[in-house]
Amino acid sequence: MRFDLELPSQPATSHRVAVLLINLGTPDAPTPGAVRRYLAQFLSDPRVVEIPAPIWQPLLRGLILPLRGRSSAKKYAAVWMPEGSPLRVHTEKQTEAVRQLLHANEYPIIVDYAMRYGTPGIGAMLNQLKLAGAERVLLMPMYPQYSASTTATAFDEAFAALRHMRNQPEIRTVRHYCDHPAYIHALAEQVRQYWAAHGRPEFAAGDKLVLSFHGVPKRTLDLGDPYHDQCRQTAALLMGELGLTSTECRVTFQSRFGKAEWLQPYTAPTLHELGAAGVRRADVFCPGFTADCLETIEEIGIEVRDEFLHAGGKAFHRIPCLNAAPAWIAALGEIVAQHLQGWPARASSPLGAVA
């Protein structure tokens, strides 16, 4: 596959270009201590938990971290791969695949990844890119739908790191790609390939495809966050690509935390209702997660599955996330190439990966 990226006939070879893929993050190990450190950073982000720190921090440190650290560590241990955390493993594979694709298409640029929480951190990776000679950096969040609690906080962290740099690189950001045709195509291909290998649901008999997005508090929608609408937009485009109707496909939101109202309908109760209503088969796909992680493997693949089967459902299928599927890597390459327009990407000498 080749991209339509216009490069100068005499490129400025002194400027090195880098792409930094950014994902949420993961503990370094499936242990209570490592999980507590990760959750402390994650849940202390005011973009994630919008409760005043004097009220929230005593509750977080005194109650939530001790309890959730142990319980979450057990869940991480259940999904941990021989190579490490699923999210990190898949992100590393995506990074390498995008790097190879861009290099094969004559874009010998630096491609690496960072995590908003945990390691490698965004600030540390921006410093690494500078040491590698990068003067232009494209920040590519692995969040197709924009939310203040994901995309915005990743950019916040990057710009905070820039405050400590005397000689800053030029920065571009990818805000969202919830409706990008290549992304929608990659989602549809992932579903089609799963059905080709495992059989297609019998929609005429009442089987359902459930599209589960990560939830956020409903208050964020009321305050103007576009995340809910963009999730719905992605779902509608994917349904159209698959030729499905709103009767055959449901859109839900998962991973609720706390007592506040979150975006509805909730995933687990919806699957319980479907099972109790006599739906024989339910397939669940998570379009907003570009890599499998605890929320997709354990929450969907175990907890939600049990809800459906215990309520009376007969067959439950968790469709894997995009991970390093060829259609998704091609989509990432296309999105990146579009956002590199105008930046010279050729170099007089080969560019290596950031260590």
Write out the binding residues for Fe(2+). Answer: 214, 295
Contact partners, residue 244, CB within 8 Å, separation at least 6:
203, 209
User: Which strand (E) or helix (H) includes residue 172?
Assistant: strand 170-173
d(CA 93, CA 112) in angstroms, rounded, equals 11
Distances (CA, A) of 149 to 130, 145, 187, 216, 258: 27, 11, 23, 8, 16
Start-to-end CA distance of the chain, whole Å, equals: 27
DSSP annotation string for 157-223: HHHHHHTT-SSPPEEEE----TT-HHHHHHHHHHHHHHHHHH----GGGT-EEEEEEE--BHHHHHT
Q: Which residues are annotated as a binding site?
A: 214, 295
Contact partners, residue 218, CB within 8 Å, separation at least 6:
260, 261, 262, 263, 264
CB 199 within 8 A of CB 251: no
Distances (CA, A) of 246 to 96, 145, 273, 313, 354: 37, 21, 16, 20, 45
CB 101 within 8 A of CB 333: yes
Sheet containing 110-117, strands listed edge to edge, beginning at the edge strand earlier in sequence: 110-117, 16-25, 134-141, 170-173
User: What's the token pair of residue 306?
Assistant: 């049990």
Nearest to 228 by CA among 189, 184, 261: 261
User: What's the token pair of residue 303?
Assistant: 């907890």
User: What's the token pair of residue 232?
Assistant: 């719905």
- Single-letter amino acid code for the residue at 294: L
